Amino acid sequence: MNIALRFINRSNDCGNSEVVLFQRDVIPEFSEFAIAWRVIRYCGRDCIHPFTYSTDVEIALGDDHGNFSPRVPASNGTRLTVAAHPSGRPRLASSPEGTVHSDIEVVNQLGRGAVNVNAFVAGRLIAAKSAVAPGQKAVFRFAPMLWIGVGSQIEEGRALASAVISSANTPLELGTIASADIVMTGGGGGENARAFQFELENVLRL
């Protein structure tokens, strides 16, 4: 399901800050970091940046050279396996064991060789599990929620610094929403400076 969103800058920042949106895996691993799903730059005061968030997830394998396998749709409860293609490259396939309870599972059934498992939402990388060894599995569990905050030197598709994650503490619950505006206020300098705040407005629910 696609959710139509519009970011609106009503802050005193005038478009100098980078606004990042990301998703936190419900069952994160200690070694994994949140990934910048979308970064909004140079959006001036009273300007609008429209985009789409999707509750549909796609899974693809990746390697350290920037290559990706074809993406496979994966809803909650999907179990996929990683097996060897006749070409020798790993490939994703549906598991004969059927579905799982609520997670997305990707099991590495290769005889040898670790794989990187990537999750995409609306065509953009939103989460990744690296170096999944044979016999191990990558597990994703997503809630329909985005987190938003302000940072600098953020690159889409890359892991976020811990300082950005700790400061980006505003959740946007999207579970029953068809469209909404995300309005940013605050900012500024000197004695009048205020913390950035984000609110959902003009919400159209399902």
pLDDT at 30: 47
- C-alpha distances out from residue 194 to 27, 52, 184, 188, Å: 33, 29, 12, 7
Per-residue pLDDT for 99 more than 70? no
Length of the chain: 206
Element (H, E) at 72: strand 72-73
pLDDT at 9: 95
pLDDT at 88: 67
Per-residue pLDDT for 124 more than 90? yes
2-55+144-205 architecture in CATH? Sandwich (2.60)
- Of the chain, the percentage scoring pLDDT greater than 70 comes to 92
Confidence of residue 142 (pLDDT cuts 50, 70, 90): confident
- Of the chain, the percentage scoring pLDDT greater than 90 comes to 57
Distance separating alpha carbons of residues 183 and 19, to the nearest angstrom: 12
Q: What angle do CA 81, 76, 69 make, to 5 degrees?
A: 40
Of residues 119 and 75, more confidence is placed in 119
The model carries a pTM of 0.89
Per-residue pLDDT for 181 more than 60? yes
- Return residue ranges of the chain for CATH 2.60.40: 2-55+144-205
The 3-state DSSP composition of the chain as helix, strand, coil percent (nearest 5) reads 5, 50, 45
- The mean of the pLDDT values for the chain is 88
Per-residue pLDDT for 138 more than 60? yes
Confidence of residue 176 (pLDDT cuts 50, 70, 90): very high
Phi-psi category of residue 65: left, alpha or beta, with phi > 0 → left and psi -120 to 50 → alpha? alpha
